[in-house]
Amino acid sequence: MPPGFFSIFDKIQYCYTSECIEKVVNEYLYSLIKERENSTEMRLFDDEDSITEKEFFNYYKFSETLVEKAIENDIDLSVVINDLEGKLGKTHPIVVLLKQFLIEE
């Protein structure tokens, strides 16, 4: 798992296994719950214009794992998507992938 001082989505860039991605998903879901309780701003992502193939793959794995965890834990995926849209923007790859997964269900 990447160092704790990275933002949640910066950590995705340093993951090389599915287990690492799953830990990042768990950290995000935990932060989502805590954020709702504490109602504080959380910085998740540093904007960059281009992403590498590895980053896109990790975003895909993150999105896929997030959908699985949301289904397992009966979390409304639209709540997660709305939260991420606010934090990352509507065109971030994770948001786009989650919307695509939602359409396919």
44 domain residue, yes or no? no
1 domain residue, yes or no? no
Q: What is the CA radius of gyration of the chain?
A: 13
Distance of CA 93 to the CA centre of its chain: 10
3 domain residue, yes or no? no
Separation CA 46–CA 8 (nearest Å):
10
83 domain residue, yes or no? yes
Separation CA 93–CA 9 (nearest Å):
11
Q: What are the start-end ranges of the H helices in 1-105?
A: 8-12, 18-38, 53-72, 77-88, 93-104
47 domain residue, yes or no? no
pLDDT greater at residue 83 or residue 48:
83
74 domain residue, yes or no? yes
Domain total of the chain: 1
Question: Model confidence over 1-57: pLDDT tens digits?
Answer: 566 678 887 888 888 899 999 999 988 888 887 766 665 444 455 555 577 888 889
69 pLDDT tier (thresholds 50, 70, 90):
very high
Instruction: Quote the domain boundaries for residue 23.
Output: 8-38+52-104
